[in-house]
Amino acid sequence: MLSGATAVLPAGTVQDAQVIVDGTRITGTAPEDAQVIDLTGHYVVPGFVDIHNHGGGGASFTSGTADDVVKGIHTHRLHGTTTLVASTVTADMDFLTQRAGLLSELAEQGDIAGIHFEGPFISPCRKGAHSADLLRDPDAAEVRKLIDAARGKAKMVTLATELPGGIDSVRLLAEHGVIAAVGHTDATYEQTVEAIEAGATVATHLFNAMPPLGHRDPGPIAALLEDERVTVELINDGTHLHPAALQLAFHHAGGRRVAFITDAMDAAGFGDGRYMLGPLEVEVEGGVARLVEGDSIAGSTLTLDRAFQRAVTIDRLPVEDVVAALSANPARLLGMDDEIGSLEPGKYADLVVLDAGFGLKGVMRRGEWVVDPQLG
């Protein structure tokens, strides 16, 4: 039993709370012989849920072995991410179907929550750190090929929905219960509205890799922010977004439609140096990842504990909204909110312990300490 902490629950922040863990689950009644851990002066929040992550700990989800992927997963667990969707980057279709097979096995084992295919169906005008030679227009048959290869573990596909075949692909994804995400797009406002009406429900790293907001040509940003059906991803690392853009997104999308993501690549939790992101070489310097050729930002080295701390201490966002953006909102988006995303009896005992300055002190996943606060 965790006692004395400030807990962030669906109803708000509860002082001097108790969180009772029995096996892998949170429960409502403590046994007489329960071990009590005093966390007075700390916060206890739900485990973080990252729906867009390419790797960490020096390991790539796009090209690494199964052991590499597990290493990357563990790196992010050490930083509070107890549920993670593994993201790929643009590659040829045969390679992506092979990766889908490997990653689906890890999903079946419970190591990851599913697969996110970011590319190759994206705009060459907004490709970012994706190989131009491997991009292609969306094709419903090829999208279906990826879904089938993932054996029921495909969670999301990022598309430039304005490209030929984009709307048909969105409809196919919606029919199969896979999230269609608008991203790496050069769409107009009207084209984005059409995609949302067809079933798109996520904005892939809003603001990044899409046209800027204009007063005569509002583009995709306005359409994605204004529609209550759309969850917007935000990378809160201090590099991808100006604080004013972050505040704008929270103002319009509110506390229920924002999902903080890492968009992390191999260097997350590992360090500066040279890395490969798919077929492209990346230089990480000062924690910022950029392509060696072209200088585009190439994902991030962010971990979600840092995103949390920055959001509360620098951006001055309400703690409850930040917790929702890191846990409840992405859990709901994945259809997993009956199991994760909040500190409620019956849900998995996935939780994060933070000190008074919102620094990470402990991580529990499925009732087991990944980072024990008593040893810190």
Q: Could you tell me the residue ranges of all domains in the chain? A: 2-44+354-371, 48-340
Does the bond joining 31 to the residue before it have cis omega, within 30 degrees of 0?
Answer: no
Residues 6+ apart with CB under 8 A from 20: 1, 2, 26, 27, 28, 29, 30, 34, 345
Mean pLDDT score across all residues of the chain? 96
Buried b (16+ CB within 10 A) or exposed e, 40-62: eebbbbbbbbbbbbbbbbbbbbb
Q: What is the pLDDT of residues 45-62, one digit of tens each?
A: 999 999 999 999 999 999
| The predicted structure's pLDDT at residue 376 | 59
Residues 6+ apart with CB under 8 A from 297: 128, 129, 208, 239, 240, 288, 289, 290
Bridge partner list, 274: 283
Closest C-alpha among 344, 338, 308, 333 to residue 323: 308
Q: 369 pLDDT exceeds 80?
A: yes
Catalytic center residues: 263
Closest C-alpha among 20, 23, 54, 37 to residue 362: 37
Closest C-alpha among 245, 188, 240 to residue 217: 188
**What mean pLDDT do residues 10-24 have?**
90
- Structure-token match 């797009």, residue found: 185
How far apart, in whole angstroms, are the C-alpha atoms of residue 102 and residue 276? 19
User: What are the Cα distances from residue 112, in Å, to 51, 107, 166, 261?
Assistant: 10, 5, 27, 15
How far apart, in whole angstroms, are the C-alpha atoms of residue 342 and residue 10? 7
Buried b (16+ CB within 10 A) or exposed e, 284-317: beebbbbbeeeeebbbbbbbbbbbbbbbbeebeb
For domain 48-340, the CATH superfamily is Metal-dependent hydrolases (3.20.20.140)
Q: What is the pLDDT of residues 183-231, one digit of tens each?
A: 999 999 999 999 999 999 999 999 999 999 999 999 999 999 999 999 9
User: Cα 158 vs. chain centroid, distance in angstroms?
Assistant: 13
The count of residues in the chain is 376
| The predicted structure's pLDDT at residue 295 | 79
| The predicted structure's pLDDT at residue 235 | 98
Cα-Cα-Cα-Cα torsion 353, 42, 261, 242, nearest 10 degrees, comes to: -160
Q: 102 pLDDT exceeds 90?
A: yes
CB contact at 8 A, 312 and 358: yes
Q: What is the pLDDT of residues 228-261, one digit of tens each?
A: 999 999 999 999 999 999 999 999 998 899 999 9
CB contact at 8 A, 54 and 62: yes
How far apart, in whole angstroms, are the C-alpha atoms of residue 368 and residue 355? 19
What pairing do the DSSP bridges indicate for beta strands 288-291 and 280-285? Answer: antiparallel
Q: What is the pLDDT of residues 257-291, one digit of tens each?
A: 999 999 999 999 999 999 999 889 999 999 999 99
